[in-house]
Amino acid sequence: MNSIKKVLVTGGSGKAGRFVVRELLAHGYDVVNVDWKPSDEVHTFQVELCDLGQVFGVMEGRDAVLHLAAYPWAGEHAAEVVFRNNVMSTYNVLQAACVLGVKKIVLAGSESALGFPFFFIPFAPHYLPIDEAHPLLAQDAYGLSKIIYETLGQGYTRRDPSLSITCLRLSYVLRPEDYREELRQAWADEGRNSFNLWAYIDARDCAAAFRLAMETFHPGFEACYIAARDTLMRQPTLDLVRRYFPPVERVAEGFGGRMSPLDCRRAKQLIGFEPAYTWDMVVSPQDVEG
């Protein structure tokens, strides 16, 4: 039985966070947001998440925390700033939750932990589709910070085995209003989205995944990929991968067409998540090309 009522969301004013807040409100949760930008829908605390005392102050009395706040790439801040901010804020969230007895934590992980976004030296997937057994091979500050998220989560569940920590390895998050321009650019330059193997996730599905993960209590640490069933492209996924990456060692039987390179079966098993949206439910090819 779900006993969670009061939820703290960090980064609830961001691209994905706004949808997470709306999803929680729609399902009757009492939500408080932590962000530098105010939310139009819930009360927002401006908290420096790298200050442990402030994190303790805002988390007290909450039943669960969904941690989305982060610098999203090493492009607007120096790499060391991105790494320090993302890792320190996550440590503080986990430390405060553990001490205050907040047993349910959901972390916004990323496909960037795999290493394809922001790489310095290119490499190929070991196999397709990619599941949670595939090694995490990030080379950059952002991707490495996301690997540390998972290491921290594992460590805290060793410290307190009653904690339930879920890390959602999110694909490229797109809002419905983003599709037309994103697709226009992707189709004009098919290599543009090779950085994430042309995968994506609708922001509404992202929000549903956070709620489902929060409502699913499993003592210990778990991670799973969250992505749409297809890619942003019209070409077969294997054709694209073979053009832009070195040879892939193994391709699963039945993998083909425009299937996503990220295998989300673990998310279904773990939290009951199945993606509901694809880009062609929002825009038509004629809309994109027009």
Question: Does a structural domain hold residue 287?
Answer: no
C-alpha angle 142-147-153 in degrees, rounded to nearest 5: 125
Alpha-carbon dihedral 136, 140, 142, 144, rounded to 10 degrees: 40
Handedness of CA 16, 19, 21, 27 (dihedral sign): negative
Q: What is the DSSP string of 158-183?
A: HH-TT-EEEEEEE--EE-GGGHHHHH
Structural domain boundaries, residue 54: 6-175+200-228+263-277
Question: Does a structural domain hold residue 149?
Answer: yes
Q: Residue 7: what residue type?
A: V
Burial of 246 (0-12, 13-18, 19+ CB in 10 A): exposed
pLDDT recorded at residue 18: 98
pLDDT recorded at residue 211: 98
CA distance 144 to 136: 9
Domain harbouring 209, CATH code: 3.40.50.720
Question: Does a structural domain hold residue 87?
Answer: yes
Q: Which residue has tokens 């669960």?
A: 64
pLDDT recorded at residue 51: 98
pLDDT recorded at residue 120: 93
Question: Does a structural domain hold residue 64?
Answer: yes
Question: Does a structural domain hold residue 239?
Answer: no
Sequential pLDDT tens for the chain (290 residues): 479 999 999 999 999 999 999 999 999 999 999 999 999 999 999 999 999 999 999 999 999 999 999 998 777 899 999 999 999 999 999 999 999 999 999 999 999 999 999 999 999 999 999 999 999 999 999 999 999 999 999 999 999 999 999 999 999 999 999 999 999 999 999 999 999 999 999 999 999 999 999 999 999 999 999 999 999 999 999 999 999 998 898 999 999 999 999 999 999 999 999 999 999 999 999 999 87
3-class DSSP state of 9: strand
Strand partners, 65: 8, 105
Question: Does a structural domain hold residue 268?
Answer: yes
CA distance 88 to 90: 5
Report the number of distinct structural domains present in the chain: 1
Pairing of strands 220-226, 250-251: unpaired
Question: Does a structural domain hold residue 74?
Answer: yes
Question: Does a structural domain hold residue 27?
Answer: yes
